[in-house]
Structure formats: C-alpha cells, structure tokens
Structure 1
Amino acid sequence: MTDALLRSDAASPSEDPTGTAGDAEGPSSNVAASSDDATWWRQAVVYQVYPRSFADADGDGIGDLAGIRSRVPYLQRLGVDAVWLSPFYPSALADGGYDVDDYRDVDPRLGTLADFDALVDALHGAGIRIIVDIVPNHTSNRHVWFIEALASPRGSAARDRYIFRDGSGVDGQEPPADWTSAFGGPSWEPVGDGQWYLHYFAIEQPDLNWDNREVRDDFLATLRFWADRGVDGFRIDVAHGLAKELGENLPDQATLDSLPRAGGHPLWDRDEVHEIYAEWRQVFDSYSPPRTAVAEAWVESSRRPRYASPQGLGQAFNFDLLEASFDASVFRRIVEENLALAAESGSSTTWVLSNHDVVRHPTRYGLPDPVDPAEKRGAAWLLSGGADPVLDADLGLRRARAATLFVLGLPGSAYLYQGEELGLQEVVDIAPDERQDPAYFRNPGVDVGRDGCRVPIPWTSDGESFGFGDAAAHLPQPSWFGELSVAAEERDDASTLSMYRAALALRRELETDEELVWVDSPDAVAHFRRPNGWEVATNFGDTACPLPAGDVVLSSGPLEDGRLPGATTVWLRA
C-alpha cells in the first residue's frame, strides 16, 4: 500500500503483540472528552471482550481478568474508547457465562473482585471506559435463589422469584405448554412435584419473574454495586424479554409464534418492560457522569427508540447490518432508517458487524447470500463443516475491511468484536467433543453453535496457544491463526490491524456532528459526506469505478490509478 492508504504515525509496527512497545508513536490517550463528559458514548468505539477467549494470564487455558489487564496497552494503541466485558461472573458455563450464579462476584477461574478493580483502574488509566454485561432475564440454576426455590413448596416466596407453573395431565406430568426453547427442546422443565419452571434458553437458565418486587430491587442493587466500582455503563442482555404476561391459559407454540411482537406478546417486547428501565435510569442518573446502558433488544425497528430514550436505557443495538447483504442500496437504506430512529429517540445509533453470537463478518461476506432470506447467514456453511457453499475468504476479507471503514465513518457508536481487527475468519473445524455451545447439543444436525467465533484470539505467530497463554486454549485454534496473529500483523502496514488502528485514530480527529449527506454516485457505490467535509465512499460492486474527488486519507485496500476498486472503501478530505 502507498503512504496515502495507511497513516504510518497511527499504525507504526511493533514487535510486541501486547502493544506496549512503540506507544510513543501511537495515541497517548483515548479519551476524546473529559472524564465527566455525559455524552462520551454517543460516537464511541466500543471493543467487546469475551473474557474466556481474550488472554490467559494463569496458564489454565481459560482467559481471565489479569490477562485482559495485561493487554490494556494493546487496546489503548488500537484506539478504542471503551471495553464491553461479556459475563465474567461465577458460572457453570452452560451458556458461555450467560448462566450467572452470582451477579456481584467474579468467577474464581477468571479472578477476584480485586482483579476486577485493578482492571478498571488500568483501563481508566489508559483513557478507556468499561461496560459490563448484565443478564436480567434469567439466573443460572446454581443461583442461591433457584436452589432455595427448588427446596421450597409451591406458592412460596422463593418460587415466586421465578416463573413456575403447574403441569398439565395426570399429577402435572405434562408441561404447561408445548413451548420450544431458543436452544432446542422444551422450554418447561419439571421439578418433581407437579410444577415446572420456564427457561426460554438453556435448562440451566430459569427465567426470572419481573413482577416480583424483590427481583427488581436486587437488580437495582447489582447496578449500584458495579457502578460504585467504577463501571461506566451496562450492556443489557435480552432487554426485550423481562416483562411477561402468561395468563391462566397458555397458548400453544404455533399460536405463540403467530402473535405480533409489538407490545402485547406474552414473552417479548411488552410495554411494561419500560417501567423496569425507568427505575434503572434513576440509578444511572444518580451518578456523575450518568452511567450509560445499551439494550440488546431484537424488536421491530419502530419499537427500538423507546429502549434508547433518555428515560430508558439510553441506547439500543441496531443489528440490521448483521443480517444485511453486501449491497450499496441495502446499506444506504439501513443507515437512513437507523439515523431516523436515533433522532426519534434522542440517542445515537449503534453499528455492529460481528459479536459473540454470529458468524464473523469476513466469513459472512465470503459466502453467497442465503436462498432463504430468513436463514441465518453462514448457517448452512457451518453445518456443512465449511464445505458447502464454498467460502471465498479473500473476497470476504476485502468486503469486511470495506464494510468496517464504511461503518467507522458513520455517525453513532461502533461496536467491535475481539479479533475482527485481525480479520479473523470463523473457525469451523471444531470436533464435536470439543464444542461448548448448548445450541449445538440441543439441536444436533440443526445448529452447530457459536463456538467458531469464540475461539481464543492469536497474539503470537506460534506456540501452543499462539500467545493466548501457557496452555492449550479451551477451544481449539486452527493452524492458520499464526499468520493472522497480532505479532504478524504488527509487522505489516497493510494488515487489517494496521487499518483499524489508522481508522480509529482518524475517526477521533474527524469526529463531528451526527449528520451526513449522501453524494450522488453510481448504483454500486454508497458515498456520504460529514459536516466538516470528511467523505466516505464504498464500492460494493465487483468492478472499479471513478475515484471521487478529494485527498485520500485512508483506504481499505489498494487503489487503482484514479479508480475505486470493487469491495473497497476510501476516506477523503474534500
């Protein structure tokens, strides 16, 4: 690449994969605003860390808090504004840590509360804020409340914290309804006395009863517990599922599936859920600056603004690009719709291309669009073991880099998933006895699970776990990880890591009002201008087109003379 494509001062190579070497040449601080800035999150770049797969400091094969702390210089040099920490609580890992035993402690395999405090201090010292995952729809079946519920009789206060129902049939031997869980199999589990409990997800994840005042108060205490320890914000898991209204007669699964999810569904996106978040907002606003929150709410787009309102959580995930084709018209439509929704709520929108629940976007973009639009992208490829359809990994990476630069140029906040800055592909060749995701075990032959995007990331080019730790990683890493390791990409100014570093440094310089104007361009190109004259143009097509006028600041790939190649994004100053 030419010097115009990647700024050497923002992405100078280093031999140290932790990012501690060469810091003087990178950004010295990642705080774009003062520490008491109440609006820091509006255009923040947030980096999701899946703790068990980021860095292993104690050599047991599982990532931990000390490992994350050792990589804070890397995160600072990358240029992120905040880290979102996926669950690190005590857990049997029935669902990757989203089965929580204790909401106010740290899993001993990952560290201690003192380790958490040290991590917060290290991040804040580097100018990086911290967001933690809150999992309020369900506890684990090892939570002290659920243990008490099983030991208590029907109608007890202990059982009222969860959703228990009498079974049907003789002596309650049949489930209350034929509902199917998200991970396959029945969503009602018997407890041996004629009653059953609801678990929309894994058996080990009993759903809480949010009509219970004790449940509400306990989560308010949990939010304060972590805010008092310096947490800057919260990501709310299954935010649209807390309020439920089951009634006397439960509908069957077919009826349940047919009901609209727009305020009156028994399980999803009920209007009452916002009463819960109004109380949470009072807690958030009692701190200075107010704590932030972002809702994981898979709801109709018209319903999203209420989750993102200043009276509620304040921001909501926009997952539209996770399901979108690599197409200019599709991307333009999604951008327009979500900027309008953000304006309606008074919030900023969020952009997400990868996370811990979906196939990594360099792989998605290297596969043909599914025949059935309802099919999860990459699902058929995963089930085939990566054999069918054929993955075009080079095309997928070019498109992923182009999509990333397009997204990072947009107004709103951007959420990155660990390893995407290395251009990692999905890992498909995981043996059945090495898999961990409950979706795989509950849906054999139907769902291969999410382990492929959760494989520990590579830091060095060789070694038993590519620098992840001193022991084999808890999920197997493929041999090709070495060439995509941090150490390997540090030495290449055309690498995906170098591109991310350059983009995040430039984004901070060019951050402006949350507006854009579309520029007339060929059908295959999406081209917009920000108020300060910064322009972004992406060629979503296969053939080169004329390069827009302006000084090239950054490109996702090599440029032809006066031409913008297909699957390429360019940033320009007019």
Structure 2
Amino acid sequence: MTPVDPALHPFRRADTDWWRDAVFYQVYVRSFADGSGDGVGDLVGIRSRLPYLAELGVDALWITPFYPSPMADHGYDVADPRDVEPVFGDLPGFDALLTDAHALGIRVTVDLVPNHTSDRHAWFQAALAAGPGSPERARYLFRDGRGPDGAQPPNNWPSVFGGPAWTRVPDGQWYLHLFAPEQPDLDFTNPEVVADLETTMRFWLDRGVDGFRIDVGHGMAKPEGLPDMVPMEDTGLLDDHGPGDLRFDDEGVHDVHRRVRAVLDEYPGTMAVGEVWLKDDDRLARYLRADELHLAFNFKLLTADWDVEDLRDAVVHSLATVATTPAPACWVLSNHDRPRHVTRYGGGEAGTRRARAAALLQLALPGSAYVYNGDELGMPDVDLPDEALQDPIWERSGHTERGRDACRIPVPWSGTEPSYGFSARPDTWLPMPAGWGPLTAEAQAADPASVLSLYRAALRLRRSSPLFAGESLEWLPAPEGCLAFRRPGGLVCLVNASARAVPLPEGAVLLASEDVSGGVVPADTAVWLHA
C-alpha cells in the first residue's frame, strides 16, 4: 500500500506546535465502539463515531494499541508493531480512519510500546529457539539464574503485575518481564532494538499519524548488571516507588528518547507524549528537555483526592515540572489504568458533581489535556463479578488485586439496555450494567444540563476564546476550601471543593458546572468567569 505523503498532510504545513494546548481524546479501542458486531471495539467503530468526536470538540485522538497481539494484556503485548490485529480491522481500515479524522480536523496519535514485545513476537520465538549466548537472545534480557543450579531468578525485581519479574525457559536461562510473562523486556543497549523502534515509528508516520503516546516511557533502560533493588511489593499498578526502584528511570532511558525525538523531528508537526510515572518534579522534567519528549503525562491531578489542598498541590507541582523546560503542562484526570474520577471522588451523585467541576478545572489549566473515553459522559467504574475479570493483574496477584477492568467498560451510546449501541450484540467483552440509559451519549446530547453538554460547551469555549491564552496562571485569593486562578488571557476559574456555598466572584459567567444564577457557587462546583 502506498504510504501517505507527509508533504500533503493538511496539518503539517502550519501550526507545528498544535499539541501545546490541544485536547486529546483517549480511545481505548476494545471499549469505544464495535463496528463488526463481535462485542469488541474496533477501528470501524472508531471511524463511525468520528462525527461525535468532532462535535465534542477534541483536537486529537490517542488510540491505544490495535496491533497484532495474543491479548495477554489487551494489546500491550505486541506481536507485530507494524500491522493491525484482525479483531480490530486491517491497515486499509486504519488508513480510512486516519483520512476521515483529518478531514474533520482531528489529528491522530497512536500508542508506541517500546519496552517489551509479546512472547509470540517473531524475535522472541527466535530467541527461544536459538539458545543462550545467541544474537537472537541479545535483543532481550536473558540471564542465568542464581544459586548452584541456577534455579533462583537473576535478581529480586517484582513484576508490576505481581510475582517475580523473571520467567525460566526450558534450557535453564531466565528472561526479564517487568509486566506479564507474555511481555518480555527488550534490551535497548542492542542497536538492532533501537533501529527496529525507529522503523516502526517511520511506518506509522509515513502513513500520516500525528504522533505517539509512549507506553512505560520511563522504562526501556535497565541498570548495568541488573542488581537487586530495595525489596518492595508492587502495587499491581504503575507507580513511582522512588530511587530504590531500579526497574524504571535509569539514566540510559534518555538516550532512547533522544533517538525517538530525532525521528519525529524529520516529520514536522508530529509529537510524542510519555507515560512517565515519576513523582519528583526535577526527575520528570528531565524527560522534557528540548531533544526528548514534547509532553509527559503529569499524573498528580489523576492521583489527587477531591480536596482543595491536594488539587492545588497537583497544579503547583505540575507547573513547576515544566517551568524550566520547553514543554507545557499535560493534564490527566482518568485513563485505562486507574479508577475513573467519578468513582475516585466518591461515586454516585457526589462523584459526578465533583467530576463536572474537575472537568472545568482541567480544561481551564494552561497546556494540553487528555480526556479518557467516557469522561465526557461521567462514566463511573463498574464493580464486575470475579468471573468477568480479564486483567492479567487479577491472576498474577493470586486474586488479591482486581486489576483495571472496572474502568474499561464499553462506552454507552444509545438505548436503554446493554449494550447501549456499543455493539450489535448485548454481550460485550466486559459486561455492561443495567440502568445506564440516562448515561448514554444519545440521552445526554438532548439534555443541556448533562455532563456531555458541559464538556461540549467547555471545549467550544477553550478552542474559540482568547481568554485561554498563555501558558501560566496567577493564583487569586479564594474562600476557604476553594482555589482560584487567572490565565494571562483573562479567564478566571474558581473551584469550590468545600461542602458549603461561597459568593460568586464578580465578572461575566462563561460556564459553570452547576447553577450559579443565585449569586453563589454551590459546594463541589467550578465556574469560569471573565473578570
């Protein structure tokens, strides 16, 4: 198939810094829209919902992995990074999706999974067949075991998904997998590994994609000799355990990011955002140097409680991270790995009310923002029965960690019964609960007071109003339990995270998450003003 000519790409002739204030929409492929009728989301489904996304007002998509995969980790175990998994479609279908998205003014970024491959990847199968000391094994991290008979793992590293980070093969060697055994880590000191990553990037960039989200962006590099680390039990989810955790944030990872950036610089107007789980502002900032990532997710807002001090602290630290870098801040409230913020904020009516306010906080902040599919509908987590759980964390943890399935329920589109227009069949890859009729996009589009209508109004204002100009903010005095700031363009945002109403500040109300017509800002409410 003839690749898309980058010179003809409609977005790359202007506004190469589009990503600095863009609103990205994360599409978790399996759960967004099912076009084939098998109960699993796919590329045809995404393509069919592009007009909805255009009306929502997002600037770009981040599509999670749709590459050939045995699905041990639902696509993050990639068997071939330069093709499409048949469950999700094919390459012509991806090209059609890309063409349609660009025609609607929506850019498309895709997941890059450099840290590991699937154990079914041709390279790993060749490594198993070739044996110890072979060039094929040198692409991965094979090591001899410890102890007199090599029966102990080479070091004490735990897997993020539970259990040891090592699996022994029949000839006695062990291989490293920071995640599931089906996800062997690559060795980025091997030039062949780096070159293959560059080939994968060019494959998708030549087709016309606008950038990448880099999975486990603080992984890839490992310390020489793979020494033991400070003993720790992993949480079962990515997190920053500090400098004692030798699995992540090794200095060599920056060499990989410089190679990634060099390829992207050959394609003006493209970008990369890294999944970098680091709490330390200075360590995170190092990923945002001029020759590394364009953006890095700052997860402080995603992990903050609904508490004014927590929320303000998240904003302060996120802005401090980028203050000495060329990058803007990058805000996240939910994603496919963490509980949705409706649930995190308490669930039910209270959680939804707080989530509405949090949306206005996120979208008022300077920089870029990521919206997870379903955020704009106020989707909560779903408490699934044990037998429905599919996340590898559930099995790897010995059924002590339920994993991430609760935040991955398919998006409800229309109707009053499962699968609410997500699929032609009622039984979907993760079950959808009863009672979600009012949550559907169709129902909410007809309701001016809905979460969807709030997002549409907020994104329309953000895109069109000069009040959102500038990449900084000025903190303003605010009542107890509230935070308030002004953007250089003139936008004022007040968030009342307290349990009582506060006086509405002076100025013209642009948008509010609840009714402020009485001259007060109710509890758990945010308001945008031009003061």
Query: When the two structures are superposed, what TM-score results if normalisation uses the length of structure 2?
Result: 0.93
Secondary structure of the structure 1 residue equivalent to 2:461 = helix
Query: Which residue, 355, 362, 366 being the options, matches 1:407?
Result: 362
- Structure 1 contact 422–485 (Cα < 8 Å) conserved: yes
- Structure 1 contact 220–283 (Cα < 8 Å) conserved: yes
Q: CA RMSD in A?
A: 1.9
Q: Distance in 2 between matches of 1:493 and 1:35?
A: 37
- Structure 1 contact 309–315 (Cα < 8 Å) conserved: no
Match of 1:321 in 2: 301
Match of 1:243 in 2: 221
Match of 1:449 in 2: 403
Structure 2 alignment gaps of length 5 or more: 1-9, 235-239
Match of 1:519 in 2: 476
Task: Supply the AA of the counterpart residue of 1:502.
Answer: A
- Indicate yes or no: 2:424 matched with 1:470: yes
Match of 1:304 in 2: 284
Query: Which residue, 435, 438, 463 being the options, matches 1:480?
Result: 435
Q: Distance in 1 between matches of 2:214 and 2:290?
A: 15
Alignment of 1:494-533 (within 5 A): 494-510=449-465, 511-533=468-490
Match of 1:293 in 2: 272
Range with greater deviation from structure 2 (441-450 or 188-197)? 441-450
Choose between structure 1 and 2 for higher RCO, CA contacts under 8 A separated by at least 6 residues: 1
Task: Supply the AA of the counterpart residue of 1:294.
Answer: V
Q: Distance in 1 between matches of 2:232 and 2:452?
A: 48
Shift of 1:340: 2.4
Q: Distance in 2 between matches of 1:414 and 1:397?
A: 19
Q: Distance in 1 between matches of 2:314 and 2:430?
A: 35
- Indicate yes or no: 2:496 matched with 1:539: yes
Match of 2:196 in 1: 218
- Going from structure 1 to structure 2, the CA distance change for 1:270 and 1:261 (only over 3 Å counts) comes to farther
Q: Distance in 2 between matches of 1:96 and 1:60?
A: 16
Secondary structure of the structure 2 residue equivalent to 1:536 = strand
- Structure 1 contact 464–470 (Cα < 8 Å) conserved: no
Query: Which residue, 338, 346, 370 being the options, matches 2:318?
Result: 338
Shift of 1:256: 10
- Structure 1 contact 527–538 (Cα < 8 Å) conserved: yes
What percentage of residue pairs aligned between the two structures are identical? Answer: 50
Query: Which residue, 417, 435, 440 being the options, matches 2:372?
Result: 417
Task: Supply the AA of the counterpart residue of 1:402.
Answer: A
Secondary structure of the structure 1 residue equivalent to 2:152 = coil
Q: Distance in 2 between matches of 1:424 and 1:252?
A: 39
- Indicate yes or no: 2:94 matched with 1:116: yes
Q: Distance in 1 between matches of 2:521 and 2:485?
A: 15
Per-residue deviation, residues 537-571 of structure 1 (Å, max 9, x unmatched): 11010000110001111110122511111100011
- Structure 1 contact 261–269 (Cα < 8 Å) conserved: no
Q: Distance in 2 between matches of 1:415 and 1:252?
A: 33
Q: Distance in 1 between matches of 2:11 and 2:186?
A: 39
- Indicate yes or no: 2:345 matched with 1:365: yes
Range with greater deviation from structure 2 (168-177 or 513-522)? 168-177
Structure 1 alignment gaps of length 5 or more: 1-31, 367-391
Q: Distance in 1 between matches of 2:360 and 2:434?
A: 28
Secondary structure of the structure 1 residue equivalent to 2:296 = coil
Secondary structure of the structure 1 residue equivalent to 2:273 = strand
Per-residue deviation, residues 250-275 of structure 1 (Å, max 9, x unmatched): 32662899x9855x964211121111
Match of 2:523 in 1: 566
Match of 1:107 in 2: 85
- Indicate yes or no: 2:115 matched with 1:137: yes
Task: Supply the AA of the counterpart residue of 1:153.
Answer: G
Q: Distance in 1 between matches of 2:164 and 2:251?
A: 26
Q: Distance in 2 between matches of 1:528 and 1:168?
A: 57
Per-residue deviation, residues 98-145 of structure 1 (Å, max 9, x unmatched): 100000000011011111111110110000001111111110100000
- Structure 2 contact 418–434 (Cα < 8 Å) conserved: no
Secondary structure of the structure 2 residue equivalent to 1:411 = coil
- Structure 2 contact 176–184 (Cα < 8 Å) conserved: yes
Secondary structure of the structure 1 residue equivalent to 2:26 = strand
Secondary structure of the structure 2 residue equivalent to 1:326 = coil
- Structure 2 contact 301–315 (Cα < 8 Å) conserved: no
- Structure 2 contact 230–245 (Cα < 8 Å) conserved: no
Shift of 1:532: 2.3
Match of 1:181 in 2: 159
- Structure 2 contact 117–184 (Cα < 8 Å) conserved: yes
Shift of 1:332: 1.9
Per-residue deviation, residues 411-448 of structure 1 (Å, max 9, x unmatched): 010100000100011011x2222211001111134211
Range with greater deviation from structure 2 (458-467 or 564-573)? 458-467
Shift of 1:515: 1.8
Secondary structure of the structure 2 residue equivalent to 1:219 = helix
Secondary structure of the structure 2 residue equivalent to 1:333 = helix
Query: Which residue, 460, 463, 472 being the options, matches 2:414?
Result: 460
Range with greater deviation from structure 2 (337-346 or 188-197)? 337-346
User: How many residues of Structure 1 are paired with residues of Structure 2 in the alignment?
Assistant: 514
Alignment of 1:7-406 (within 5 A): 36-247=14-225, 250-251=227-228, 254=231, 261-262=242-243, 266-289=246-269, 291-299=270-278, 300-366=280-346, 392-406=347-361
- Structure 1 contact 177–253 (Cα < 8 Å) conserved: no
- Structure 2 contact 229–246 (Cα < 8 Å) conserved: no
Per-residue deviation, residues 230-288 of structure 1 (Å, max 9, x unmatched): 1111111111111112417x32662899x9855x9642111211111111111111112
Shift of 1:196: 0.6
Per-residue deviation, residues 468-500 of structure 1 (Å, max 9, x unmatched): 111221110001222200111111100000000
Task: Supply the AA of the counterpart residue of 1:97.
Answer: G
Shift of 1:524: 1.1
Secondary structure of the structure 1 residue equivalent to 2:324 = helix
- Structure 1 contact 61–470 (Cα < 8 Å) conserved: yes
Secondary structure of the structure 1 residue equivalent to 2:381 = coil
Per-residue deviation, residues 213-237 of structure 1 (Å, max 9, x unmatched): 0000000111111111111111111
- Structure 2 contact 417–434 (Cα < 8 Å) conserved: no
Query: Which residue, 500, 512, 529 being the options, matches 1:555?
Result: 512
Secondary structure of the structure 1 residue equivalent to 2:188 = coil
Task: Supply the AA of the counterpart residue of 2:367.
Answer: G
Match of 2:4 in 1: none
Q: Distance in 2 between matches of 1:184 and 1:267?
A: 14
Shift of 1:53: 0.7
Query: When the two structures are superposed, what TM-score results if normalisation uses the length of structure 1?
Result: 0.87
- Structure 1 contact 261–268 (Cα < 8 Å) conserved: no
Q: Distance in 2 between matches of 1:244 and 1:460?
A: 47
Q: Distance in 2 between matches of 1:489 and 1:203?
A: 42
